[in-house]
Amino acid sequence: MRNLSISWLQVRLCLDRQDYVRAQILSRKISPRVFDADTSKDKRKPKEGDNMVQEAPADVPSLLELKRIYYELMIRYYSHNNDYLEICRCYKSIYEIPSIKEDPAKWTPILRKICWFLVLAPHDPMQSSLLNATLEDKNLSEIPNFRLLLKQVVTMEVIQWTKLWEFFKDEYENEKNLLGGALGTKAAEDLKLRIIEHNILVVSKYYSRITLKRLADLLCLSLQEAEKHISDMVNSKALIAKIDRPMGIVSFRTAQDSNGVLNSWASNLEKLLDLVEKSCHQIHKETMIHKAVLKA
């Protein structure tokens, strides 16, 4: 327990000095699994591999208090890199602390932050999993505006940025100080970017081909901005698409594994051979009719 205290003090000192590289190295000395150790069980002979937690001395914070301090320090570290998903996971861990989850005055602001950072995080399987898990949280019904925000992000429908921002602008301004100084302005830009990416993914679900002009209209962007966002998503492998610039057409397609590609080729070959067979039959038929006319 004392070693944990020394480690987080070292991490805090590095963060205060803005030495983020060393802070990351020192943070790896602390295993988050230690915080999951159950100290309420009766004392028994520990087995090999068990997390052993000794009773804390009077001058050392409790294990759960150390857990809260550790994740608050990690939030400071990830805020430096604008790693929204990791910040969200840190808040999620703090939210699971019993003393916080039992007190609405404590868990409400934390749950609000979880919702904000979930929306700010780029779309990937981990973000989607956390998003759905948060939506199932019964406490979310106590903050209906944030439940509505997450519902909009989950629903496969185009979101109008101007309407969304108009509705949630006051909520964002209230949270701006909590998000932290310079991060507040950057977060506003990233929020708009996430909505644009969400809308592009929605369009790709419903269209296999669409004109760039129509796509730009749906996204409320210029042609150049729409093309740039699609290119960025393709480069980050969040989307599979091709842009025919002379024709002004965007083609979307789903990712296929090797088996899917082989099945597609086999199906295409089968259709090709079927067409060749029908063509040969029609040619033979026309030839026979032509010969019959000549004989007559």
Number of domains in the chain: 2
48 belongs to a structural domain: no
What band does 48 get if pLDDT is binned at 50, 70 and 90?
low
227 belongs to a structural domain: yes
Q: Does residue 169 sit in the same domain as residue 229? A: no
Instruction: For 88-135, write each residue's pLDDT tens digit.
Output: 999 999 999 888 888 888 899 899 999 999 999 998 889 999 999 999
165 belongs to a structural domain: yes
The whole domain housing 251 covers: 207-255
Average pLDDT for 57-75: 78
270 belongs to a structural domain: no
Strand ranges for 133-230 from DSSP E: 209-211
81 belongs to a structural domain: no
262 belongs to a structural domain: no
What band does 43 get if pLDDT is binned at 50, 70 and 90?
very low
What pTM was computed for the model?
0.73
176 belongs to a structural domain: yes
Q: Does residue 155 sit in the same domain as residue 240? A: no
Distance CA 295, CA 224 (A): 67
Q: Which tokens sit at 252?
A: 């979307």
Contact between residue 100 and residue 110 where contact means Cβ atoms under 8 Å apart = yes
Q: Does residue 147 sit in the same domain as residue 186? A: yes
Q: Which tokens sit at 44?
A: 């028994």
Cβ contacts of 51 within 8 Å, gap of 6 or more: 33, 34, 36, 37
pLDDT of the residue at 57: 56
